[in-house]
Amino acid sequence: MAARAIASLTLGFGLVSIPVKLYSATESSAAVRFNLLTKDGSRVKQQYVSEKDGKIVERADMVKGYEFEKDKFVLFEPAELKALEEGSDHVIEIVAFVPQKSIDPIYYDKAYMLAPDKRGGKPYALLAEAMRNSERCALARWSWKAKRYVVQVRPAEDGLVLQQLYFAGEVRSLKDLNIERVDVTQGELDLALQLIDQIAADGYDPAAYQDEEKARVLAAIDRKIAGQQIVTHEEVESPASGQVIDLMEALRASLNKRGGTAAGKAVSKPAAGEVAATATKERKGIKRAAPAELAAAEDAPRVARARARK
């Protein structure tokens, strides 16, 4: 299915206005959800209950409040809350161009894709090519869904990406963790570099990594639908967290373990994509039993349709 634009916006580049369309850059692959039911399979619903008298409170009877002291709230009417919201703005206002590597990825929030709208092809292509040549990205201000954002607009291979950025106060600092500074010897560093060289790769291939956890859960669901028992996987024992190991010996052992692997190539264990592909193939190969054949599978068609919609 073709991507659907979320909004039509304008990218402000000096006195140049570039009409663009906004698209989500990612599609959520959330974990498989399980519903809360009664033991007879009926759905349950949430209700809000007053802490004071235990009575159920309907949503129409609720108000929002801010706790400024312990158990003391200031109440806001819907109109007052609406007045506090930042109005959405169709203009993405570029305020600066900075080196592409100057923004730490820890500040990255949600990503969007920008595509040129009508009559925007030429200025869009010009801005993208100029940023590629200058090796700079744009910082811009943008109001969206009642919130003001600082965003990065950066050139990708086929166009422009808009990246929402966290504010400084939203990102924790490693300095707050008081991590101990420990010196390493040259010999330890040399062994670590050899280990890095053995399993080094030329780049990141997203297609090589799959959501193995989701594939495993879906395969278990298929077995359950087919009337089989779910087999629990065995936990791999790991060294105790307090165990003291010799760093040099661990590095040498790692090098010896991977000694048969050529430098720069992946290790011989199955790739993440292969594991997921195997699980997926197992799911596709299962033939679900008919409801009449399974005493507890009367809801199987509805479950299958609900999962298909996901």
**Residues 166, 92 share a domain:** yes
Q: Are 188 and 248 in contact (CB under 8 A)?
A: yes
Low-confidence ranges of the chain (pLDDT < 70): 1-2, 28-31, 85-88, 229-245, 258-310
pLDDT score at 243: 55
Q: pLDDT tens digits for 40-86?
A: 888 888 889 998 898 999 988 888 998 988 989 988 888 887 777 66
pLDDT score at 283: 46
Greatest C-alpha distance within the chain: 70
Residue 145 resides in a domain: yes
**Residues 202, 289 share a domain:** yes
Three-state SS for 301? helix
**Residues 280, 131 share a domain:** no
Residue 288 resides in a domain: yes
Residue 55 resides in a domain: no
pLDDT score at 147: 83
Going by C-alpha positions, the residue among 244, 251, 240 that lies closest to residue 184 is: 251
pLDDT score at 34: 84
Residue 280 resides in a domain: yes
Surface-to-core class of residue 293, CB atoms within 10 Å of its CB (0-12 exposed, 13-18 middle, 19+ buried): exposed
**Residues 159, 200 share a domain:** no
Cα separation, 228 vs 225, in Å, equals: 7
**Residues 286, 260 share a domain:** yes
In eight-state DSSP terms, residue 19 is E
**Residues 147, 19 share a domain:** yes
**Residues 300, 226 share a domain:** yes
Domain span holding position 19: 7-28+85-170
Task: For 217-275, give the secondary structure using H, E and C.
Answer: HHHHHHHHHCCCCCCCCCCCCCCCCCCCCCHHHHHHHHHHHCCCCCCCCCCCCCCHHHH
Residue 166 resides in a domain: yes
**Residues 302, 256 share a domain:** yes
CATH number reported for the structural domain that contains residue 150 in this entry = 2.40.290.10
**Residues 165, 199 share a domain:** no
Cα separation, 21 vs 114, in Å, equals: 6
**Residues 200, 106 share a domain:** no
pLDDT score at 303: 45
Cα separation, 59 vs 244, in Å, equals: 56
Domain count along the chain: 2
Q: Are 229 and 223 in contact (CB under 8 A)?
A: yes
Which residues make Cβ contacts (< 8 Å) with residue 71, sequence separation at least 6?
Answer: none
pLDDT score at 151: 95
**Residues 104, 163 share a domain:** yes
Surface-to-core class of residue 123, CB atoms within 10 Å of its CB (0-12 exposed, 13-18 middle, 19+ buried): middle
Whole-prediction pTM value? Answer: 0.62
Cα separation, 273 vs 266, in Å, equals: 13
Strand partners, 94: 140
Residue 115 resides in a domain: yes
**Residues 256, 129 share a domain:** no
Residue 165 resides in a domain: yes
